[in-house]
C-alpha cells in the first residue's frame, strides 16, 4: 500500500502494516519515540493495521499531540486503575484530557479528599513502573455491555447504551488484563512513555455536566514530558496565584468583604481612588462620543419588571424588597434593579422622540444588584452588587451597522489605553430562555451578524449564549499572562422598546419602535478592577495608582524640603504623600514598594542642598537623580491619562 507522508513523499509498505511499521520504515529514532499515528487526519493507535492507501503522520511523544495522548493514557489507564485498586467499589465515569492535564470522574462510596491524592498518586506510580504495554480489543455492543455490567460499571454501561455505534467498541487492557477501560483512544503503546505527573485537586462535578444529575468526584492531574516541564508549569501556577487580586487587594488595602454583605464590596480609600480614576476616564470617553449620562432609581416596582420581561425571565436573580407593612400605607413589591435598561426607556419615554433624535445614547454608571448563587462568587470578579459602565443606544435598523462600528472602535481605544491590546469578538445567538418571536430573533441575529461581517472584524459564534432579549457581541480580552476575560458587550434588542412602548416619529410621520442596543465596555467596574490588578500584578499604571508618589525622608533635617516637594506635586494634581517617620530609608522603600507605589522619591542631605530628587520606580531598584523642576515636569507628563 502507498502512504503519503506530511512532506508529500510516498512510501510503499506491505499490506497489514501498522503505524509502528511505518515509523520503523522511516527511521529507528522515530520508531522509538512514536506513540500514535494520524491516518487521514484521524488519530489511531500505533499498532492499528493501516488499511488502503492513506496519508499518514507519526505522532511522537515530544509533540503536543503526543503529550495529550500521554495525558489521556494517564487518566484512563493509570488514574482510573489506581482509583479502582484503592476503592474497589468505585465506579468510573469519564476521563478526558484538559489543557495542561486531565481529570477522571468517579463515583465512590467514601469521599475522596485532597489528602487522599498522595495515596492515589503512589498507586499510579506503581502502575506506571510496570511499563506494561497497552493493547486494544474491539467488541460488539452486546459484549461491551456484558463486560461492564458484570463489573457494575453503570456509567460505562450507559455510555455504551446511549451510543449509536453497534460494533467496534474499543477496550484497552494492560499486560495483566486485570483492568479494562472503554475508550475512544488512542493510547500510548506502553506505559514507559509516561513523563512527570502530579494530581492537583479534587472536586465535585455533575454526571454529564447537568446539575440535575448525581455529583461525582473529579480528580484532576497535570502531566508533562519530564520533571522540568512539570516544575515549570507548577511555577506558573504559583505566579498566577501571586497576582490574585484578592491577595493583592488585601496587601494593598484596597477593599474587603464581610459576612453581612456577601458578594458586595467594601471599598477602602485607596481602592475607591482606583475606582474613581477609572470611572472618570470612562466618563470622559463617553462624553467625547456622544453619550449622555443619566441616573435611574435603585428600587423599582415589580410592575415595571413585569412589563420589561425581567420578572418572568430573570426573577430568581433579583433581590426583591417589600416594605414593612406596619409602617407603610400601601403594600408594594419592589425589586432592586438588576439592569439599567428599563430605567433608560422611562427616560426615553418622556416627551416625543423624532427620528432626528436618533441615535440617542444614554449612559449610566448604574449600580445593579443580582442575586448570584452562593457558590459562584469570587472576589471582585463575581459579585452581587456592581456598577456597570452601561449604556443604551436607541437607533433605527439602518443605524445598527454604523453604531456597531463606532462601538468597536470606542471599545478598542479604551482597552488599548488600559493596557489590553488584544481582544476577540464572540457572536452569541438566541438562548432557550428568551422573549420575542423567532421572526424577531431571525431579524436581529442577521442584523448583528451582517454588521460585524461588513465591518470586517473576525468573530466566532457562540450558539445559544445570547441575552434573553437579543443576540450579542461579546468582547474577550487577553491579559498579561494569557488569560481571557469577557468584558465588553453589545446586545441588540428588538423587544424591549415595544414591551415598554418606546417609540419615535419617523420621516413618514408614523410611529416606530427604535432598536435598543445594550452596551458596556468594561462590564463592571468591580470585575474590571480585579482584572487590572491581576494584569498588572498590582503595579497599576501611574494615572490609576491610588498613591502615585511617596516622598521618603532619610533624615529629619530634610522634612521641610520633602513637604515642599509633596505640595508642589499636589498642586499638579498628583496623589503624593510624605513619609517622615523615624525609620530607615530601606524600611520605607520596602513598605511603599510592597504597596506598589509607582514612584518613591528619597530625600537626603544632598538632595536638599542641591534641589534635586532621587527617584525610584516600582519594579526597579535603579535610582535616578533629577533636578526638582525636571522631575515635576516628567511626573506631570506621566499623569496624562487622568482626563478630568
Question: How far is the C-alpha of 262 from the C-alpha of 610, rounded, in Å?
Answer: 54
Alpha helices in 456-584 (DSSP H): 496-499, 525-535, 559-571
Question: Burial level of 593, CB count in 10 A (0-12/13-18/19+)?
Answer: middle
Q: Which of residues 133-152 bind RNA (CB under 7 A)?
A: none
With binding defined as CB under 7 A, does residue 239 bind RNA? no
Nearer to RNA by C-beta: 192 or 376?
376
Among 110-118, 121-129, 159-167, 413-421, the segment contacting RNA (CB under 7 A): 110-118
Which of the stretches 10-18, 180-188, 267-275, 367-375 binds RNA when contact is defined by CB under 7 A? Answer: 367-375
Distance, in Å, from the CA atom of 64 to the CA atom of 346, rounded to the nearest integer, reads 56
Q: Cα separation of 433 and 2, whole Å? A: 53
Q: Supply 58's cell numbers.
A: 507519526
Give 335's strand partners. 300, 320
Is 211 a binding residue for RNA by CB under 7 A? The answer is yes
Neighbours of 456 (CB within 10 A): 7
Element spanning 408, H or E: helix 400-417
Chain-centroid distance, C-alpha 223: 23
Q: Of 77, 174, 388, 399, which is the active-site residue?
A: 388
Which of residues 73 and 562 has its CB atom nearest to RNA in the complex? 562
Q: Which is nearer to RNA, 16 or 619 (CB)?
A: 619
Residue with cell 519515540: 33
- Active-site residue identified among 518, 575, 588, 616: 518
Region label for 504, one of left (φ > 0), alpha (ψ between -120 and 50) or beta (otherwise): beta
Distance from chain centroid for Cα 569? 39
Query: Can residue 10 be called a binding residue for RNA (CB under 7 A)?
Result: no
Cell of 190: 506502553
Contact call for residue 203 and RNA (CB under 7 A): yes
The reply to whether 370 sits near RNA by the rule CB under 7 A is yes
Q: How far apart are CA 121 and CA 496, in angstroms?
A: 55
Helix, strand or coil, per DSSP, at residue 393:
strand
For the chain, how far is it from start to end, CA to CA, in angstroms? 74
Q: Does 557 bind RNA (CB under 7 A)?
A: yes
Q: DSSP string covering 411-428, please?
A: HHHHHHHTT---EEEEEE
Residues 494 and 443: their CA atoms lie apart, in Å, by: 9
For residue 429, the minimal CB distance to RNA (Å) is 12
Asked if 482 and 396 count as a contact pair (C-beta separation under 8 A), the reply is no
Q: In sequence order, what E strands does 111-249 have?
A: 135-139, 169-173, 180-182, 196-206, 215-224
Q: Tell me the sheet residues that pair with 477.
A: 423, 485
Class of residue 306 by CB neighbours under 10 A (exposed 0-12, middle 13-18, buried 19+)? middle
Annotated catalytic residue: which of 187, 344, 434, 472? 472
Q: What's the min distance (Å) between Cβ of 129 and RNA?
A: 29
Binding of RNA at residue 300 (CB under 7 A)?
Answer: no
Within 13 A of 91's CA, how many CA atoms are on the CB side?
19
Q: Give pairs for 630-639: CB < 8 Å, separation 24+.
A: 631/601, 632/568, 632/569, 632/572, 635/548, 635/549, 635/569, 635/572, 635/574, 635/599, 636/572, 636/574, 638/542, 638/543, 639/542, 639/543, 639/548, 639/572, 639/573, 639/574
Establish whether 392 is a catalytic residue.
yes
Choose which of 376, 437, 454, 629 interacts with RNA (CB under 7 A): 376
| Identified catalytic residue from 84, 245, 392, 595 | 392
DSSP state of 133: B
To the query of whether residue 518 is one of the catalytic residues in this protein, the response is yes
Residue 72 catalytic? no
| Catalytic residue from among 105, 243, 341, 595 | 341
Active-site residue, 390 included: yes
Position 236 contacts RNA (CB under 7 A): no
Q: Which of 111, 356, 438, 640 binds RNA (CB under 7 A)?
A: 111
**Does 54 help bind RNA (rule: CB under 7 A)?**
no
What span, in angstroms and rounded, lies between the C-alpha atoms of 27 and 7? Answer: 15
Q: Is 215 in the site for RNA (CB under 7 A)?
A: yes
The nearer residue to RNA, 476 or 641, going by C-beta atoms, is: 476
Contact code string over 502-541 relative to RNA, x by CB under 7 A? ----------------------------------------
List Cβ neighbours of 286 (8 Å cut-off, separation of 6 or more): 293, 363, 389, 391
Cβ distance to RNA smaller for residue 310 or 353: 310
Check binding of 199 to RNA (CB under 7 A).
no
573-602: contacts with RNA (CB under 7 A): 582-587, 589-590, 593-594, 600, 602
Residues 596-635 that bind RNA (CB under 7 A): 600, 602, 604-607, 614, 616, 618-619, 621, 623
Active site residue 241: no
Give the three-class secondary structure for 638: helix
What's the closest the beta carbon of residue 4 comes to RNA, in angstroms?
40
C-beta of 259 vs 438, nearer to RNA: 259
Nearer to RNA, 174 or 491 (CB): 491
* Interior angle at CA 608, CA 605 and CA 614, nearest 5: 85
| Count of positions on this chain that bind RNA (CB under 7 A) | 72
Q: Which of 339, 360, 569, 576 binds RNA (CB under 7 A)?
A: 339
Q: Is 350 in the site for RNA (CB under 7 A)?
A: no
Interacting residue with RNA among 359, 431, 506, 541 (CB under 7 A): 431
- Contact flag: residue 265 with RNA (CB under 7 A): no
Q: Decide: is 9 part of the binding site for RNA (CB under 7 A).
A: no
| Whole-angstrom distance, CA of residue 334 vs CA of residue 354 | 32
Q: Catalytic annotation on 370?
A: yes
Among 186, 249, 379, 598, binds RNA (CB under 7 A): 379
Helix (H) or strand (E) holding 302: helix 302-308
Q: How far is the CB of 618 from RNA (least distance, A)?
A: 7
**By the rule CB under 7 A, 183 interacts with RNA:** no
Cβ proximity to RNA: between 149 and 246 the closer is 246
Instruction: Give yes or no: 472 in active site.
Output: yes
Residue 202 interacts with RNA (CB under 7 A): yes or no: yes
**Where in 448-467 is the site for RNA (CB under 7 A)?**
465-467
C-alpha cell at 395: 437607533
Contacting range for RNA; rule: CB under 7 A; set: 3-11, 186-194, 280-288, 550-558: 550-558
Residue 564 as a binder of RNA (CB under 7 A): the answer is no
Task: Establish if 317 lies at the interface with RNA (CB under 7 A).
Answer: yes
246 near RNA (CB under 7 A): yes
> Of these, 7, 99, 210, 330, which contacts RNA (CB under 7 A)?
210
- Catalytic positions, written as ranges: 341, 370, 388, 390, 392, 472, 518
Amino acid at each position: 500500500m502507498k502512504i503519503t507522508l506530511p512532506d508529500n513523499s510516498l512510501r510503499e509498505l506491505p499490506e497489514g502494516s501498522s503505524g509502528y511499521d511505518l515509523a520503523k520504515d522511516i527511521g529507528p529514532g522515530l520508531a522509538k519515540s512514536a506513540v500514535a499515528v494520524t491516518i487521514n487526519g484521524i488519530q489511531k493507535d500505533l499498532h492499528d493495521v493501516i488499511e488502503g492507501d492513506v496519508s499518514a503522520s507519526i505522532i511522537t511523544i515530544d509533540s503536543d499531540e503526543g503529550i495529550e495522548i500521554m495525558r489521556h493514557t494517564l487518566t484512563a489507564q493509570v488514574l482510573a486503575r489506581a482509583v479502582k485498586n484503592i476503592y474497589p467499589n468505585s465506579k468510573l465515569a469519564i476521563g478526558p484530557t484538559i489543557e495542561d492535564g486531565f481529570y477522571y470522574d468517579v463515583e465512590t462510596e467514601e469521599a475522596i479528599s485532597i489528602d487522599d491524592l498522595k495515596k492515589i498518586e503512589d498507586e499510579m506510580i506503581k502502575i506506571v513502573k510496570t511499563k506494561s504495554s497497552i493493547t486494544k480489543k474491539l467488541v460488539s455492543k452486546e459484549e461491551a455491555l456484558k463486560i461492564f455490567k458484570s463489573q457494575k460499571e453503570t456509567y460505562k454501561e450507559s455510555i455504551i447504551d446511549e451510543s449509536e455505534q453497534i460494533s467496534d467498541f474499543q477496550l484497552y487492557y494492560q499486560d495483566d488484563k486485570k483492568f479494562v477501560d472503554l475508550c475512544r483512544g488512542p493510547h500510548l503503546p506502553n506505559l514507559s512513555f509516561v513523563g512527570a505527573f502530579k494530581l492537583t485537586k479534587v472536586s465535585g462535578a455533575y454526571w454529564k455536566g447537568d446539575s440535575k444529575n448525581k455529583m461525582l468526584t473529579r480528580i484532576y492531574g497535570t502531566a508533562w514530558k519530564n520533571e522540568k516541564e512539570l516544575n515549570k508549569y507548577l511555577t506558573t501556577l504559583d505566579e498566577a496565584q501571586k497576582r490574585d487580586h484578592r491577595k493583592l487587594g488585601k496587601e494593598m488595602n484596597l477593599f474587603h468583604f464581610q459576612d453581612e454583605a456577601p458578594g458586595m464590596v467594601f471599598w477602602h480609600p485607596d481602592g475607591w481612588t482606583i475606582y474613581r480614576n477609572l470611572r472618570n476616564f470612562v466618563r470622559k470617553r463617553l462624553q467625547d462620543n456622544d453619550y449622555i449620562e443619566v441616573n435611574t432609581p435603585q428600587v423599582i416596582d415589580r410592575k415595571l419588571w413585569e412589563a420589561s420581561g425581567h420578572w418572568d425571565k430573570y426573577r430568581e436573580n433579583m433581590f426583591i424588597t417589600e416594605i414593612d407593612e406596619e409602617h407603610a400605607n400601601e403594600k408594594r413589591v419592589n425589586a432592586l434593579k438588576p439592569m439599567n435598561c428599563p430605567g433608560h426607556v422611562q427616560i426615553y419615554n418622556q416627551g416625543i422622540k423624532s427620528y432626528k433624535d436618533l441615535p440617542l445614547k444614554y449612559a449610566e454608571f448604574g449600580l445593579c444588584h443580582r442575586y448570584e448563587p452562593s457558590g459562584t462568587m469570587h472576589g471582585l470578579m463575581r459579585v452581587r452588587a456592581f456598577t456597570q459602565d452601561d449604556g443604551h443606544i436607541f437607533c433605527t435598523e439602518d443605524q445598527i451597522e454604523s453604531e456597531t462600528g463606532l462601538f468597536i472602535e470606542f471599545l478598542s481605544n479604551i482597552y488599548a489605553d488600559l493596557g489590553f491590546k488584544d481582544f476577540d469578538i464572540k457572536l452569541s445567538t438566541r438562548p432557550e430562555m428568551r422573549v420575542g418571536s423567532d421572526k424577531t430573533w431571525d431579524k436581529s441575529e442577521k442584523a448583528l451578524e451582517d454588521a460585524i461581517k461588513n465591518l470586517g472584524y473576525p468573530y466566532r459564534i457562540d450558539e445559544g449564549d445570547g441575552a434573553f432579549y437579543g443576540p450579542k457581541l461579546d468582547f474577550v480580552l487577553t491579559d498579561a499572562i494569557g488569560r481571557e476575560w469577557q468584558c465588553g458587550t453589545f446586545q441588540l434588542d428588538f423587544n424591549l422598546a415595544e414591551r415598554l412602548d418606546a417609540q419615535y416619529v419617523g420621516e413618514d410621520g408614523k410611529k416606530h419602535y427604535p432598536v435598543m442596543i445594550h452596551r458596556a465596555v468594561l462590564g463592571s467596574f468591580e470585575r474590571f478592577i480585579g482584572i487590572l490588578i491581576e494584569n498588572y500584578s498590582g503595579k497599576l499604571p501611574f494615572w490609576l495608582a491610588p498613591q502615585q508618589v511617596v516622598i521618603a525622608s532619610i533624615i529629619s533635617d530634610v522634612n521641610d524640603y520633602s513637604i515642599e516637594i509633596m505640595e508642589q506635586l499636589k498642586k499638579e494634581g498628583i496623589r503624593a504623600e510624605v513619609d517622615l517617620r523615624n525609620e530607615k530609608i530601606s524600611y520605607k522603600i520596602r513598605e511603599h514598594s510592597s504597596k506598589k507605589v509607582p514612584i518613591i522619591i528619597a530625600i537626603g542631605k544632598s538632595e536638599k542642598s542641591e534641589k534635586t530628587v532621587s527617584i525610584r520606580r516600582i519594579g526597579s531598584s535603579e535610582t535616578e537623580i533629577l533636578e526638582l523642576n525636571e522631575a515635576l515636569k516628567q511626573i506631570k507628563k506621566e499623569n496624562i491619562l487622568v482626563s478630568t
